[in-house]
Amino acid sequence: MTPSSTLGAWAELLRISALFTIPGDALAGAASIGVRPDRGTALAVGASLCLYEAGMALNDWADREEDAVDRPHRPIPSGRITPPAALAASAALTVTGLTLAAGAGRPALAVASTLAATVWAYDLGLKHTPAASATMATARALDLFLGAAATGRGRGPLKAPPQPVPSRTGAPPRPPVLNRRTGRSAAGHGGGARKALAVAGAGPGLVPAPQGLRDAGCSAIPAVDGAGVASALRRLTSPGTLAAAAMLGAHTYAVTEVSRREAHGGSTAAPLAALAAATVLAALVSRQRTPEAAPTLRREAAAPGGAGASAPTFTPSTPGGPGGLPPHAAEPQVSQPGRGGSGEIPQPQPDPANQRWWPRAGAGSAPVPEPSHPRPSADLAHTPSAVAPRGAGWGSRVGTGSTLTPAPNRSPHKAIRIATHLATPAALAAAAYFRTAANPLLHAALNPSPPLTQRAVGGGIRAMIPLQAALAARSGAVGTGVALMGLVPLARKLSRKVSPT
């Protein structure tokens, strides 16, 4: 065989056209916990790709006798790839995937190990049992959990510097300096490390020391991995992550049920059930998550004081002030830090003579004399013209003598509200998902022949990409959803050369 034909055989064995459906699992998992993708997410994507391809190679190795009858054109039955080579490739890919997951932390390695065990159990024993579809759905959900567990993991740094224990000789203790990654003394090895571990007691980022270290004067040691494990457990059990995993698992279950009959066809129940599942999933994923369930993506500010240090704060003024300020006339006080003084805009004060509102320079100052031109009425003049936003419901001043007039408060038309609701990124991705999955499934239900059934399975596999994009956009990661939608044409183009089934 020529090198090009060998590469083509391996591409067909590994079904590389289906690789585009894998990165979205980890990215959707990261979006479900409200954390931006990072190095851990990249490691999770690499681990998922390796484990997925390991399952593909192992699947053909396990079905080599069945494929010799039903699909003799496959690489192993046709003799282009030997069974030992396929098995060795599956083992090597599994080890590589677990190694990449280990780089993302212990929680990610635990999830990846469970995923690898699920893949091998499916290919070697559960594929021809009633639990086959549920096993594949579990594998897809675990792949999303892998992205959630690997993203944004903490290395367990000390929350506060530990306090040293006074030495037995009575000498004043030297404050330890710990390395944030290793927990050892920054001075080096030996005695410096021992002093670094001599802390007063268990606290944030610390655990009780073993008995031997306590006898040597150390009562607690840094807990490097404990915080990461607890954080990963909270993420995996959050409602948003569980909901996203359930949706991906439901779609995978329906497509797997259809694929179990792709070699012989003759079933209309499975495509119809998958079509119904796609309809329900498209309706569910198009809905935006509530603010309580959808965490806001945050990026910590580099400047001291956090992200909100320089942001203006808005506090409503107290109604019912001097002169009988009506409740609806309360205006926000804008505080701009860094400008000196209190930073508050002078608030309108009543004029005892005519009960009109005039701005004062400060508390205790005399009212400002009435200007020559007419002023707005009391219910409108409480909004200073210097801070009145243009186009925000107030008329602009045309000239001397003009007044501020409120624009009519008209609610948008019902058709506009419906169009705005349907034009959200999550809804658009959900529509693309339904279109990709529904058309071939409907054709397979009307004519359950093997070619149309295989086409329905391929469409269901490609539909995984817009489903992942919708899940990411639904959680607030619109950029991630747009990037995933860019993989759809690539997957469609490559599937014409290499079948994903």
pLDDT tens per residue, range 141-161: 999 999 999 998 643 333 333
What's the pLDDT score for residue 232? 72
Span 12-34, average pLDDT? 94
The predicted model scores a pTM of 0.65
What's the pLDDT score for residue 100? 96
List pLDDT tens digits, range 414-457. 666 666 666 789 999 999 999 999 999 999 999 999 889 999 99
d(CA 280, CA 212): 60
Q: What is the CA radius of gyration of the chain?
A: 32
Amino acid at 27: L
What's the pLDDT score for residue 4? 82
Do residues 226 and 153 touch, judged by C-beta distance below 8 A?
no
Q: Nearest CA to 153 among 230, 207, 222, 100?
A: 230
d(CA 408, CA 335): 29
148 to each of 59, 266, 407, how far by Cα in Å? Answer: 27, 40, 47
What's the pLDDT score for residue 267? 80
d(CA 415, CA 421): 10
User: What is the distance, to the nearest Å, from the Cα of residue 264 to the centroid of all Cα atoms in its chain?
Assistant: 40
d(CA 376, CA 43): 63
List pLDDT tens digits, range 171-214. 554 544 445 444 444 444 444 444 443 333 444 445 565 555 56
As a whole number of Å, the end-to-end CA separation of the chain is 24
List pLDDT tens digits, range 249-302. 999 999 999 998 887 777 889 999 999 999 999 999 998 765 544 444 443 333
Question: Which of 35-49, 84-98, 302-316, 430-444 bottoms out in mean pLDDT, i.e. has the lowest?
Answer: 302-316
% of residues, the chain, pLDDT over 70: 57
Span 81-93, average pLDDT? 96
**Per-residue exposure over 88-98, b if at least 16 CB sit within 10 Å of its own CB, e if not:** ebbeebbebbb
% of residues, the chain, pLDDT over 90: 47
Q: What DSSP string describes 246-302?
A: HHHHHHHHHHHHHHTTTTT---SHHHHHHHHHHHHHHHHHTSPPPTTTSPPP----S
Treating both helix axes as pointing N-terminal to C-terminal, what angle do 239-259 and 464-474 enclose, rounded to 10 degrees? Answer: 170
The token duo for 422 is: 């349907």
Do residues 336 and 322 touch, judged by C-beta distance below 8 A?
no
Residue bearing tokens 């949706």 = 247
